[in-house]
Amino acid sequence: MTVGGLVLVATPIGNLGDLGRRGEDTLRRATLICCEDTRHSAKLLAHAGIRGARLAVCNEHTEAARAAEVIAAIEAGGTVALITDAGTPGISDPGSRVVRAVLDAGLPVSAVPGPAALIAALVISGLDTSRFVFDGFLPRSGTERRARLESVAAEARTTVLYEAPHRIERTIADLARHCGPQRPVAVARELTKLHEEVWRGTLAEAAAHLAGRPPRGEYVVVLGGAAPAPPPDDHDLRADLRAELAAGADRRAAVAAVTARHRVAKRRVYDLALGLGPA
Ligand code: SAM
């Protein structure tokens, strides 16, 4: 049980049985519980047998304004618990602004860790878990979306994304277009719930799997990282040398640039440059 300060308490992402003992105790003893939606959190508290809790709404609109009340409660010696509708606060959810404000006031912040959809999906995806990137929700449209898709496509580490049910089909199609149809993916749905499903395959297969299905539930997409680029062959190196020379570099500078870019032996690039004829 954590006493004093602001405590971020992770709550279930579907299965109420996932609220741990320490989270429950912290909520029971908190002076104030900040939550996104009081009706939603009341169900969790009722399930845990917690009655008479003081609740305050802390969502994306009220988070900044709520900070002063949180700080006052902590300064008065209280413990403020921060929860969201599901999972870990601050992960694609409110939390980080209150954390910043409490830290800036010189007060303690701690966490009762627990469910997070991204971690649950990642560890059962079958993809590389040693290094990964969490990219939240993709921007919905325009150049921002295209730029993010391009950066996801180039990422060598496993990427975890959140997606709403009505956008999952389009997101998988966009990912297939940018990353190539053969990129491995796991699409996790309704984790910890009755209809939990984890689908694993390539992006092209995922698109076929989702086509025409009613988009139900909440989704996490776990995407395998981009394969390292194959080592350049002589043809690639010659083409690059020609481009450097055409841009005005002399032979020496062109060899240096191409060697550095491709991390290959300088002698090899030099010999290829000689084979191009007089510089
Ligand atoms: N803070 C939460 C966490 O720690 O995972 C995430 C909150 S974010 C607003 C909600 C998104 O998380 C959903 O759109 C979905 O992508 C993902 N999510 C939450 N619960 C899930 C579940 N049970 N199964 C699959 N995805 C889930």
Atom of ligand 1 nearest to the CA of 164: 14
Q: Which residue's CA lies nearest to atom 8 of ligand 1?
A: 92
Does 228 reside within a domain? no
The verdict on 132 and 189 lying in the same domain is: yes
Closest CA to 149 of 214, 226, 73: 226
Is the distance from the beta carbon of residue 82 to the nearest atom of ligand 1 less than 6 Å?
A: no
Residue 259 burial by Cβ neighbours in a 10 Å radius (0-12, 13-18, 19+):
middle
The verdict on 251 and 204 lying in the same domain is: no
Q: Residue 59 is part of which domain span?
A: 5-115
CB 212 within 8 A of CB 154: no
The verdict on 141 and 208 lying in the same domain is: yes
Does 109 reside within a domain? yes
The verdict on 109 and 172 lying in the same domain is: no
pLDDT of residue 1: 53
Is the distance from the beta carbon of residue 220 to the nearest atom of ligand 1 less than 6 Å?
A: yes
CATH number at residue 50: 3.40.1010.10
pLDDT of residue 3: 66
Q: Write out the two tokens for 53.
A: 């809790």
Query: Which residue(s) pair with 160 in the sheet?
Result: 134, 222
pLDDT of residue 279: 59
Is the distance from the beta carbon of residue 164 to the nearest atom of ligand 1 less than 6 Å?
A: yes
Query: How many domains is the chain built from?
Result: 3
- The upper half-sphere exposure of residue 154, i.e. CA atoms within 13 Å in the direction of its Cβ, equals 5
Q: pLDDT tens, position by position, for the chain (279 residues)?
A: 556 899 999 999 999 999 999 999 999 999 999 999 999 999 999 999 999 999 999 998 998 889 999 999 999 999 999 999 999 999 999 999 999 999 999 999 999 999 999 999 999 999 999 999 999 999 999 999 999 999 999 999 999 999 999 999 999 999 999 999 999 999 999 999 999 999 999 999 999 999 988 878 999 999 999 998 888 999 999 999 999 999 999 999 999 999 998 889 999 999 999 999 765
195 CA from centroid of ligand 1 (Å):
15
Does 136 reside within a domain? yes
The verdict on 27 and 64 lying in the same domain is: yes
- 92/96 Cα distance (integer angstroms): 10
104 CA from centroid of ligand 1 (Å):
29
Does 68 reside within a domain? yes
Distance of CA 24 to the CA centre of its chain: 27
